[in-house]
């Protein structure tokens, strides 16, 4: 019955998420340039569609004079795009493991700036999902009126976010295949729109009907000011959101990963630059005015294509790509969290690959948090929009500044040109950031400035807890000496007893050689010499490290390595126990689970609770006994009191 239930569960899991992928096939699950564009570029491609609206909303405060500046603003943004491309190209070349702003800021500006970059990107990724999906659903309310009520809209948002999580849990290749058609169709249709529009203007000039189609009365102030230009520039830079994701996800590309990542970044830079210049030129030429429910893209589609099939393809793929834009965070954030987990700033389970060779914990976390954000803000795009893009410009600033500092200190070949490029990107990004904060502060940007320090404190707190645990569990020469002493003592006591006389087998699951593992092995060996340490080899580097530690400390307990090509730690351990049980050499088999007991209950969320899952899975096994060997660390207060006593005695 148990086997039937397990088989049914496996079939259902395979149906939903696909067949598990072996670690050795990791390279096959990665994407090339063609797959990288829709996976990592959907956010930035969708952003360029509404960037002209953001520019014109501000420029037209100065009246029709604003049309004279719209193309200049776009060219200035393209210069920033070039600078940011050069910055992140260097980041990808220098850090093939990914990490982007977080890695660079931490390496060259210090731990605090690295954590600020990590916090800002985390917030930006979460907001990207919430804003993209809510915006897409809002655009559909005209076609589907039943989506208009808040509760229906929120439900639809959450279902779309769940769908995006499911697609990404099936793997990068799956999401690339699914999203490639609408993304490339949108790019092609947009290119055709811009090309046709430019040809029409060059051959026939502007027609009065076309201009009238998009024209709305414009309110005028006293004239153009530097502040208006700065705000328009800042608004247009929303077209750059998502640029960071490629440098975060270098490890998701096929070999040579760095080359493919740089080519993807270059293609995205070209698409955004040409698209932004083309759209803003046409909008300025036709004197279009963006309005709610009638975007610049919509107006240009009607003017150039008319109500033809091409118009509906353009607007349909534009709506689809807003949803697909949320795929970029699903690709970028899990990789960022995994890198931070390796450094000890986020829970360790974020660095574990799931069945489909993606960081499942990060994907589920993004789904839960972004859904909560939708519920809290009632799916209102305008409420969340002021919070959007601040995080990405913090990361741009820190990346440019960090690389500029590094280049200044090392002064290698061609360092002066690199220094100018990095400084330009860092300084302009910082100025845009200040404009965003000043102009959007009262609209909700202050929330970001409150949440970010809290996230940084949380990251530091997690690192502090893990550092304390490592110190508590680190194997000391004294602990090894005590272990070998106990082994020798027990062996002498059992000198006249045959090994086959012991009918109780004890299996000790081992992840690494720590004090808690030593205590568990001592407990097990005191009961029976039939003790085997078992390591489920889901991570080759971790297995090599354990074997090294086992040999260096001359451990007499046999260590068995169980290959786990699909990283199914619990299932592979259960299969090993089944094999031992089928041999029939023992009356009972005991699984002794080493359990670390944190000082505070809430700290359990920093651990993946594998031991609890093993106990649950073995609960109904007839001849299998399960015992926990809890390890209570010495609290810092107790350690401090103990050290004071030692000092007094001395």
- Quick: pLDDT tens for 246-279: 988 898 899 899 999 999 999 999 999 999 999 9
Fill in the DSSP letter of residue 511.
Answer: S
pLDDT per residue as tens digits for the range 408-444: 998 888 888 889 989 998 999 899 888 888 887 777 7
Q: What are phi and psi of 587, to 5 degrees?
A: -75, -40
Q: What is the pLDDT of residue 221?
A: 47
Q: How far is CA 38 from CA 180, 356, 393, 601, in A?
A: 6, 19, 22, 42
More confident residue, 290 or 224: 290
The owner of tokens 């986020």 is 346
Share of the chain above pLDDT 90, in %: 42
Q: What is the DSSP code (8-state) at residue 507?
A: E
Q: Could you say which DSSP state residue 254 is in?
A: P
Segment holding 290, helix H or strand E: none
Q: Give the strand pairing for 588-596 and 624-631.
A: parallel
What pLDDT, in 10s, does the model give residues 440-462?
777 777 888 889 999 999 999 99
**Which of 203-207, 279-283, 628-632 is the most confident on average?**
279-283
CA dist 224 and 349 (Å) reads 53
336 vs 249: CA distance, rounded Å = 8
Q: Which residues contact 454 (CB under 8 A, 6 or more apart)?
A: none
Q: What letters, b where the CB count within 10 A reaches 16 and e where it falls short, cover 288-311?
A: bbbeeeebbbbbbbbbbbeeeebb
Confidence of residue 73 (pLDDT cuts 50, 70, 90): very high
The total of other beta-carbon atoms located within 10 Å of residue 605's CB is 12
Q: With contact defined as beta carbons under 8 Å apart, do 331 and 45 qualify? A: no
> Where does the pLDDT of residue 386 fall: very low under 50, low under 70, confident under 90, or very high at 90 and above?
low
Question: Two tokens at 579?
Answer: 């094999």
Q: Which domains does the chain have, with CATH numbers?
A: 24-466 (1.20.1740.10), 477-649 (3.40.50)
In which residue are the tokens 């260097």 written?
Answer: 90
Cβ atoms within 10 Å of 162's Cβ, excluding its own:
12
14 to 17, 20, 596: CA distances (angstroms): 5, 7, 33
Summarised one tens digit per residue, pLDDT across range 215-254 is 444 444 456 788 888 888 888 887 788 888 898 889 889 9
Judged by average pLDDT, the poorest of 9-23, 85-99, 343-357, 572-586 is: 9-23
- Give strand pairing partners of 606: none
Q: State the virtual CA torsion across 576, 579, 583, 589 in degrees, nearest 10.
A: 40
- What's the confidence (pLDDT) of residue 187? 95
Distance from the Cα of residue 101 to its chain's centroid? 13
- What confidence score (pLDDT) does residue 649 get? 41
What number is the average pLDDT over the span 360-376? 93
Count of Cβ atoms closer than 10 Å to residue 210 Cβ: 23
Indicate the SS3 state at residue 234: helix
Residues 411 and 18: their CA atoms lie apart, in Å, by: 50
pLDDT value at position 647? 35
Widest Cα–Cα separation across the chain: 107
pLDDT of the residue at 24: 77
Q: What angle do CA 618, 619, 624 make, to 5 degrees?
A: 55
Whether the Cβ atoms of residue 399 and residue 95 lie closer than 8 Å to each other: no
| Stated length of the chain | 650
**pLDDT digits 0-9 by tens, 87-114:** 999 889 888 877 788 999 999 999 999 9
Neighbours of 152 (CB within 10 A): 16
Confidence of residue 208 (pLDDT cuts 50, 70, 90): very low
- Looking at residues 318-334, what average pLDDT do you find? 88
Residue 294 confidence (pLDDT): 79
pLDDT at 170: 87
Are the C-beta atoms of residues 229 and 309 closer than 8 Å to each other? no
| pLDDT score of 142 | 61
8-state DSSP, 222? S
* Cα distance between residue 246 and residue 602, in whole Å: 35
- pLDDT higher than 70, residue 645: no
286: left (phi over 0), alpha (psi -120 to 50) or beta: alpha
Residue 305: predicted pLDDT: 92
Question: Residue 515: its pLDDT value, please?
Answer: 92
Q: Rounded to 5 degrees, what angle do the CA atoms 452, 458, 462 make?
A: 150
The pLDDT assigned to 64 comes to 81
- Output the pLDDT for position 345: 96
Starting at the edge strand that comes first in sequence, how are the strands of the sheet with 588-596 ordered?
559-563, 531-537, 504-509, 588-596, 624-631
Average pLDDT over residues 474-498: 89
| Residues 328-354: tens digit of each pLDDT | 899 889 999 999 999 999 999 998 888
What whole-number distance in Å separates Cα of residue 186 and Cα of residue 192?
A: 10
> H-helix or E-strand containing 463?
helix 446-473
Picking from 559, 557, 618, the residue whose alpha carbon sits closest to that of residue 590 is: 618
Q: What is the pLDDT of residues 140-194, one digit of tens each?
A: 776 677 887 888 889 999 999 999 999 998 888 888 888 999 999 999 999 999 9
pLDDT of res. 60: 86
According to the model, what pLDDT value does residue 643 have?
Answer: 40
Q: Where is average pLDDT lowest: 11-20, 74-83, 567-576, 638-647? A: 638-647
Taking alpha carbons only, the member of 296, 297, 228, 200 closest to residue 68 is: 228
Q: Which of 239, 326, 283, 290 is nearest to 45 (CA)?
A: 239
pLDDT 10s digits, 590-608: 999 998 888 888 888 888 7
Q: What is the mean pLDDT of residues 9-15?
A: 65
The SS3 call for residue 590 is: strand
294: region left, alpha or beta (phi > 0 left; psi from -120 to 50 alpha): beta
d(CA 124, CA 378): 19
More confident residue, 18 or 61: 61
Tokens of 188: 């092609």
CB contact at 8 A, 112 and 459 = no
Whether 317 shows a pLDDT value over 70: the answer reads: yes
Mean pLDDT score of the chain: 85
pLDDT of residue 442: 74
């Amino acid at each position: 019955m148990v086997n039937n239930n397990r088989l049914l569960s496996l079939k259902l899991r395979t149906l939903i998420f696909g067949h598990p992928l072996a670690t050795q096939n990791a390279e096959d699950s990665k994407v090339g340039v063609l797959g990288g564009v829709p996976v990592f570029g959907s956010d930035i491609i969708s952003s360029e569609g509404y960037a002209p609206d953001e520019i014109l909303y501000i420029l037209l405060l100065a009246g029709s004079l604003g049309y004279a500046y719209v193309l200049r603003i776009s060219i200035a943004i393209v210069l920033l795009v070039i600078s940011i491309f050069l910055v992140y190209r260097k980041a990808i070349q220098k850090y093939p493991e990914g990490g982007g702003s977080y890695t660079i800021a931490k390496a060259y500006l210090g731990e605090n700036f690295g954590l600020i970059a990590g916090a800002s990107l985390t917030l930006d990724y979460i907001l990207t999902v919430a804003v993209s999906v809510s915006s897409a659903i809002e655009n559909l309310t005209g076609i589907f009126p039943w989506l208009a009520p808040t509760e229906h809209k929120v439900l639809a948002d959450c279902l779309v976010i769940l769908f995006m999580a499911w697609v990404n849990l099936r793997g990068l290749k799956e999401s690339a295949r699914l999203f490639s058609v609408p993304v490339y169709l949108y790019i092609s249709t947009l290119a055709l729109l811009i090309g046709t529009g430019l040809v029409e203007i060059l051959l026939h000039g502007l027609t009065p009907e076309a201009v009238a189609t998009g024209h709305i009365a414009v309110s005028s102030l006293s004239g153009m000011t530097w502040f208006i230009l700065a705000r328009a520039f800042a608004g247009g830079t929303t077209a750059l959101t998502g640029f960071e994701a490629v440098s975060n996800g270098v490890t998701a590309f096929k070999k040579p990963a760095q080359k493919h990542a740089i080519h993807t970044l270059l293609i995205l830079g070209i698409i955004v630059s040409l698209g932004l210049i083309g759209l803003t030129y046409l909008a300025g030429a036709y004197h279009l005015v963006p309005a709610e429910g009638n975007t610049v893209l919509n107006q240009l589609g009607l003017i150039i294509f008319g109500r033809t099939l091409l118009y509906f393809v353009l607007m349909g793929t534009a709506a689809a790509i807003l949803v697909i834009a949320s795929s970029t965070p699903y690709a970028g954030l899990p990789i960022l969290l995994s890198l931070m987990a390796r450094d000890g700033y986020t829970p360790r389970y974020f660095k574990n690959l799931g069945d489909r060779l993606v960081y499942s914990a990060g994907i589920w976390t993004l789904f839960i948090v972004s859904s909560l954000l939708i519920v809290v803000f009632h799916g209102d795009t305008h409420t969340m929009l002021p919070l959007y893009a601040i995080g990405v410009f913090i990361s741009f600033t820190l990346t440019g500044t960090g690389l500029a500092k590094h280049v200044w200190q090392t002064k290698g070949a061609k360092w002066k040109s690199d220094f100018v490029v990095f400084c330009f990107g860092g300084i302009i990004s910082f100025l845009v950031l200040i404009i965003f904060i000043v102009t959007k502060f009262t609209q909700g940007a202050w929330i970001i400035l409150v949440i970010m320090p809290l996230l940084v404190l949380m990251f530091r707190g997690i690192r502090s807890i893990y550092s304390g645990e490592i110190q508590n569990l680190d194997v000391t020469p004294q602990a090894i000496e005590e272990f070998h002493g106990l082994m020798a003592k027990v062996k002498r006591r059992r000198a006249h007893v045959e090994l086959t006389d012991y009918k109780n087998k004890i299996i000790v699951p081992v992840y690494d050689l720590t004090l808690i593992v030593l205590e568990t092995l001592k407990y097990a060996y005191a009961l029976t010499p039939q003790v085997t340490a078992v390591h489920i080899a889901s991570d080759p580097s971790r297995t090599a490290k354990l074997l090294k530690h086992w040999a260096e400390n001359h451990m007499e307990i046999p260590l068995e390595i169980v290959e786990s090509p699909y990283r199914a730690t619990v299932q592979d351990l259960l299969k090993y126990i089944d094999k031992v049980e089928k041999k029939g050499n023992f009356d009972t088999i005991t699984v002794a689970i080493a359990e670390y007991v944190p000082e505070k209950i809430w700290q359990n969320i920093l651990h993946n609770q594998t031991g609890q899952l093993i106990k649950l899975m073995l609960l109904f096994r007839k001849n299998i006994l399960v015992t926990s060997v809890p390890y209570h660390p010495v609290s810092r207060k107790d350690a401090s009191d103990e050290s004071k006593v030692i000092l007094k005695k001395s």
